[in-house]
Chain A
């Protein structure tokens, strides 16, 4: 019988935390890019875009992330036989994009209508309006909720364990099976997530209070 010290448990969880961090970053950056593209399509007011994108947002916000992960897993599996990496990344990216595009739409909407009219009166085109007038103002409002959403993404990656992706939660389950110390392992696991998420939450909160302080 091998004995496992707390340090063994902790070290292995730390090693697995790399994958949680990597997956969160990929989903966040990828989701941010897709979300930005969707946002621009929305702002440009292309015909039918608003209906399609709000349906897209509703679809991802109104169904469980776990089901989306399963759907991506089996859906991608229909066409090609891939590792869980691809399907997990795909599902989390799309999920993140739906939330971020909705958050950012609100931020753009919070910019006063007069700013649009004034910049249009100065004969700026849409790209220039966004780059020099609307963008900077919306960005200031957008940073705190975007940072806050990163916490949701990190917590969302825990669900990837269910379809066999080895990240923090899956590693915790595997370590439990090896050590038979579920209480210690799951407590460490929770602490690990807390250590990842709490600083980001606190940062988001301080950004928000700074923003309101400026008013």
Chain B
């Protein structure tokens, strides 16, 4: 007969709270920088100089076709081989930014591509500069169109951050691992840890769906 001992895990709640906090902080930083990078890459692929397009295209395809854990290990374990040493936290944020940037670039590009030509022509005829046309006319409705996909991708990146525990970043997965090595209640610890991610994902989706129209692209 198997006896479960969930209270033993819940007794370590300060660790869990810290883990949730760290995961959210990692996600917040990576999401804001990553989406910005994605927008920049989308701009580069559609309107950028000719030499930049293939570079951005290669970056997007390379990231989208390799696992996040390999990207993270390359940054954390691989780069010191050529003398670049990153802290676990910095490597994690960088990996998440680079990862989200590539996916966001594809998503935002799809939004930009569907901008009606007349709107751009109208903006040009009002003597807006190329940059103004992009940031004020093309981008806001494009972001609005692809916002649900972008939100899903940010959530995927948050869930992916569980892997950062592997390079000893003290986020939720790492906290769960620590708890299970303290009291040997591995199943219970991972059960609770896994279930903690679920409300985080749901809350993050709600928050972004709420914040998007208000602060990012306007209603």
Mark A residues whose CB is within 8 Å of B: 58-59, 61-68, 70-71, 74-75, 77-79, 151, 154-156, 158-159, 161-162, 169, 172-173, 176, 181-187, 189-190, 193-194, 197-198, 201
- Evaluate contact between B74 and A187: CB separation under 8 angstroms: yes
Within 8 Å of chain A (Cβ to Cβ): is B207? no
Among B44-52, B118-126, B156-164, B210-218, the stretch in contact with A: B156-164
A197 proximity list for chain B (CB < 8 A) = 65-66
Q: Could you say which of B71, B166, B193 contacts A190, with CB atoms under 8 Å apart?
A: B71
A158 proximity list for chain B (CB < 8 A) = 67-70
**Interface contacts beyond A67-B173, A74-B180: sample of 4 additional A-B pairs, CB < 8 Å, sorted by A:** A59-B198, A151-B65, A155-B68, A162-B163
B162 proximity list for chain A (CB < 8 A) = 64, 66-67
What are 25 A-B contacts defined by CB distance under 8 Å?
Answer: A61-B201, A62-B197, A62-B202, A66-B163, A67-B193, A68-B194, A70-B190, A71-B190, A71-B194, A155-B65, A155-B67, A158-B68, A159-B163, A162-B163, A169-B73, A176-B77, A181-B81, A186-B73, A186-B74, A187-B78, A190-B74, A193-B65, A194-B61, A197-B65, A201-B65
User: Counting chain A CB atoms within 10 Å of each CB, which of B77, B79, B160, B202 scores highest?
Assistant: B77
Q: A181-B81, A182-B80, A182-B81 are in contact. Are A67 and B67 (CB under 8 A)?
A: no
A23 to B12, CA, bound (A): 36
- Evaluate contact between B191 and A190: CB separation under 8 angstroms: no
A190 proximity list for chain B (CB < 8 A) = 62, 66, 70-71, 74
A151 proximity list for chain B (CB < 8 A) = 65
Q: A182-B78, A190-B74, A194-B66 are in contact. Are A74 and B187 (CB under 8 A)?
A: yes
A194 proximity list for chain B (CB < 8 A) = 61-62, 65-66
Binary contact track B160-202/A, C-beta < 8 Å → 1, others 0: 1111001000000100100010000011001101110110011
CB distance from A201 to the nearest CB of B (A): 6
A133 to B190, CA, bound (A): 45
CB distance from A4 to the nearest CB of B (A): 14
Q: A74-B186, A169-B70, A190-B66 are in contact. Are A162 and B166 (CB under 8 A)?
A: yes
A77 proximity list for chain B (CB < 8 A) = 187
- Evaluate contact between B69 and A67: CB separation under 8 angstroms: no
Q: Could you say which of A71, A176, A198 contacts B191, with CB atoms under 8 Å apart?
A: A71
Q: Could you say which of B61, B70, B194 contacts A63, with CB atoms under 8 Å apart?
A: B194
3 shortest interchain CB distances as A-B pairs: A183-B81, A158-B67, A186-B78
Q: Could you say which of B61, B62, B74, B197 contacts A64, with CB atoms under 8 Å apart?
A: B197
A138 to B214, CA, bound (A): 37
A198 proximity list for chain B (CB < 8 A) = 61, 65
